[in-house]
Structure 1
Amino acid sequence: MIVAIKSKQQWQQATWDDYVALRDDDKSDRCKLFFDNQHLWVEMGAEGINHAKFGDLFPMIIAFWAIKFPDIKLSTFGGCQMEKKGKRAIAPDIVLYVGDDSPTWKTGQSRFIDLEQWRSPDLVGEISDTTLAIDLDEKKRLYANLGISEYWVIDVRAYRIFAFRLDEEGIYEECEVSQVLPNLVISLLEKTMELLDTKTNTEAAIWFSKQIQDL
């Protein structure tokens, strides 16, 4: 079963045991795993240039935001496997917790984030280079079902961010201003992304830091 799953990047029917076996397979290639409703999604292989460049930009943006607003405690866990045992598993590119009650690890515990023990993150995001369709569809529903307050889909080819906030009915609706990082306008993030045409991601992040000085 594992060999068949690893051969294709698409949702395939699988059990939780199939997911665990692939997750714990030391000989498997580096991959991100998602599990929902008895189906498994595997994102295979190493990151490409665009994914890596944009992916590294956003932790820097969050860091500059944290410097600007030190009273807001932020913790990031990008790419960490997160699980509700037997039900769902996710591994977003961006994972952000706001507040003191963020996950910590102790000897003897699972090295993954147990969503039965810890609350869901406040914000998750996907760097979409080749996975835009699934990021805007199946993953969007999966993150909504986990009660994650805000979800960003970062389209690196179009320099666009689809930002969604969870409404009272548990459905994502598109938003222009972040609710998790108050007063952060999504269009400012898009302008920062556009700089990557001519600048490095560190230069773009520094530019972003200057734009928020007067907030």
Structure 2
Amino acid sequence: MISSSSTVQQDLVTDTWVKAPWEEFIALADNPAYENGRFYYDRGYMRIETMPIGSSHGQDNSIMSKVVSLYAAVRNIRIKELVNTSFRKSGAGECQPDSAFYIGSEFVFPPRSNAPIDLNEFEPPTLVVEIAATTLNDDLGRKRLLYERLGMSEYWVVDVETGDAIAFSISDGRSGEIQESLVLPGLTLSLVEEALQRSQSEDDGAITRWLLQSFS
């Protein structure tokens, strides 16, 4: 629990879903006092994550970035990555995934700004990734429903404890588990998991060389 500033005169419960009106959530999300928190909002409930992020989370997040970006580069797929970026649909929902990717020939990339990306003005990212160190149940549950409602096309969750990568394709507001990406055709989750496993004993250069060889 962290203390509130003068903007919101109450104690703030973090790292769990709490019932709150949109206006209260926005007051917190836009408050500089909480700039290190990660903010989520879904159907009248907010979640503000303040737990420290360890090396397992950081390493797996780095590997996921390499896998997706290198695959797109080798296969000549247009892509743009954003890390820890907020996406906001006013009055409805907000998320801040570990990484997000716009993928494909048609996307219009939002301009540079320090404000959350407005999903009423821009398309949602094609692929979002959450690295689950202490939040696995929530990432597979409520956040999955949030990403369905916000209109992402694909959602991946990495379990840092087991090295599992779980992927869902999202269509018409519903999601289903997949073993091969639909937005990055030909990229299998088994290869993603092998990259995560290799990273536990190999340096980034070795992983990059192996990925390039695998993708070529």
TM-score of the superposition, structure 1-length normalised? 0.89
* Superposed counterparts of 1:48-59, under 5 Å: 48-59=54-65
Superposition misfits of 4+ residues, deviation over 3 angstroms:
none
Q: Structure 1: which 5+ runs fail to align? A: none
Residue 41 of structure 1 deviates from its aligned partner by: 0.5
Q: Is the contact between residue 75 and residue 102 of structure 1 (CA under 8 Å) also seen in structure 2? A: no
Q: Structure 1 CA distance, aligned partners of 2:128 and 2:49?
A: 17
The farther-off stretch of 128-137 and 191-200 is 191-200
Q: Structure 2: which 5+ runs fail to align? A: none
Q: Structure 1 CA distance, aligned partners of 2:83 and 2:95?
A: 11
Residue 100 of structure 1 deviates from its aligned partner by: 4.3
* Superposed counterparts of 1:31-180, under 5 Å: 31-70=37-76, 72-98=77-103, 99-105=105-111, 111-167=115-171, 169-180=172-183
Q: Is the contact between residue 80 and residue 101 of structure 2 (CA under 8 Å) also seen in structure 1? A: yes
User: Cα distance 1:149–1:117, how it changes in 2: closer, same or farther (>3 A)?
Assistant: same
Q: Is the contact between residue 105 and residue 111 of structure 1 (CA under 8 Å) also seen in structure 2? A: no
The farther-off stretch of 146-155 and 94-103 is 94-103
**Percent of matched pairs sharing the same residue:** 26
Give secondary structure in 1 for the equivalent of 2:94: strand
The farther-off stretch of 142-151 and 130-139 is 142-151
Give secondary structure in 2 for the equivalent of 1:173: strand
Partner of 2:193: 190
CA distances 1:94-115 after superposition (whole Å, capped 9, x unpaired):
2111134233226xx7621100
CA distances 1:14-47 after superposition (whole Å, capped 9, x unpaired):
1112211211221225111000111101111442
RMSD: 1.8
Give secondary structure in 1 for the equivalent of 2:207: helix
